[in-house]
C-alpha cells in the first residue's frame, strides 16, 4: 500500500466547481467502463467530495460523469465517492483511493490540508506512458510552485491537450471521409503527440461537444474529394 500525505488544498489542483454536483457533467457522454474509473473512499462525505472536485480539474469536464457520494458501487460513473465499506467487485479494474483527515477541525471545513490519501487498489498497468501524465506529475509534486501559478499552468495544460484532441479528431474524421488523405497514423502528425498519448487523446475526445463534432463533419463533407 502506498501512502501519500496531501500538503495542499483543493485550490492547488486548479479552480473548478464547488457544488454538490458538477454542473453539466452528467449530460455529457463519458467512458464509464472500469478501465477509466476512480473511486474515492472516505468516512467523510465532504472530504470525498473535495478530492473528487480537485481531481476533476485535471480533466476536461465533458469527459467526466461524476457521483460525489454513493453507498453502493455504480459502474456508469468514472469518478465516484463512497464509504470505506463500499463493495467493489474483485474483477473491476479500478483505481481506489482512500482519504482520511489527520485534523478533524480542517476536515469539518472541507480542507484537504494534511489529509492522508492511500492507494487501496490499482488498475492493471498500462505500458504506455503519456506525456500528459509526466507533465501533471512534475507540476503537482513540485512544492516550490505557488498555487496561483499551478492553477494557471494546469488550466493551460488542459486546454493545450484539448486542442490536440480536437486536431486528432479532425484528422481522423477526414481520413475516414476522404480516402485521398494519405496519413497512416495521425498521432505521428500532430506535434507533441505520439502513440503513447493515444489513450489520453481518445478519452479527451469524448469531452468535445456534439455541436463541435457536427461542425467538423459538415466542414469535411464540403471539402473537394
Say yes or no: 121 and 137 in one domain. no
pLDDT of residue 73: 95
| 99-137 residues labelled b (16+ CB within 10 A) or e (exposed) | bebeeeebbeeebbeebebeebbeeeeeeeebebeeebe
Say yes or no: 139 and 121 in one domain. no
pLDDT of residue 13: 44
Q: Taking the alpha carbons of 120, 126, 129, 131 in that order, is the dihedral positive or negative?
A: negative
What pTM did the predictor assign?
0.74
Question: Cell numbers 453539466 label which residue?
Answer: 24
Query: Cα–Cα distances in Å, from 144 out to 105, 112, 141, 154, 217?
Result: 26, 18, 9, 15, 45
pLDDT of residue 193: 85
Does residue 27 belong to any structural domain of this protein?
Answer: no
pLDDT along the chain (225 residues), means of 10: 38 38 32 65 92 92 91 94 94 92 74 86 83 91 89 93 90 73 72 86 86 84 67
Give the domain range for residue 71.
34-125
Domain of 76: which CATH number?
3.40.50.12430
Say yes or no: 106 and 141 in one domain. no
Partnered with residue 2 across adjacent β-strands are: 119
Closest CA to 169 of 135, 128, 220: 220
Domain closes at, from 66, 92, 125: 125
Does residue 7 belong to any structural domain of this protein?
Answer: no
Does residue 39 belong to any structural domain of this protein?
Answer: yes
pLDDT of residue 180: 63
Amino acid at each position: 500500500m502506498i501512502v501519500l500525505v496531501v500538503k495542499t488544498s483543493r485550490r492547488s489542483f486548479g479552480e473548478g466547481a464547488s457544488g454538490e454536483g458538477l454542473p453539466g457533467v452528467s449530460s455529457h457522454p463519458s467512458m464509464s467502463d472500469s478501465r477509466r474509473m476512480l473511486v474515492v473512499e472516505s468516512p467523510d462525505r465532504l472530504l470525498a467530495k473535495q478530492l473528487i472536485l480537485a481531481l476533476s480539474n485535471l480533466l476536461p469536464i465533458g469527459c467526466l460523469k461524476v457521483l460525489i457520494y454513493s453507498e453502493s458501487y455504480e459502474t456508469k460513473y468514472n469518478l465516484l465517492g463512497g464509504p470505506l465499506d463500499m463493495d467493489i467487485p474483485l474483477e473491476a479494474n479500478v483505481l481506489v483511493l482512500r482519504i482520511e483527515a489527520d485534523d478533524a477541525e480542517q476536515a469539518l471545513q472541507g480542507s484537504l490540508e494534511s489529509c492522508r490519501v492511500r492507494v487501496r487498489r490499482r488498475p492493471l498497468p498500462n505500458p504506455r506512458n503519456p506525456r500528459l501524465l509526466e507533465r501533471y506529475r512534475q507540476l503537482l509534486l513540485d512544492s516550490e510552485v505557488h498555487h496561483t501559478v499551478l492553477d494557471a499552468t494546469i488550466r493551460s495544460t488542459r486546454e493545450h491537450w484539448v486542442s490536440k484532441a480536437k486536431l486528432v479528431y479532425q484528422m481522423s474524421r477526414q481520413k475516414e471521409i476522404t480516402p485521398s488523405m494519405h496519413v497512416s497514423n495521425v498521432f505521428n502528425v500532430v506535434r507533441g503527440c505520439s502513440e503513447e498519448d493515444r489513450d489520453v487523446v481518445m478519452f479527451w475526445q469524448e469531452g468535445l461537444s456534439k455541436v463541435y463534432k457536427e461542425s467538423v463533419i459538415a466542414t469535411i463533407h464540403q471539402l473537394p474529394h
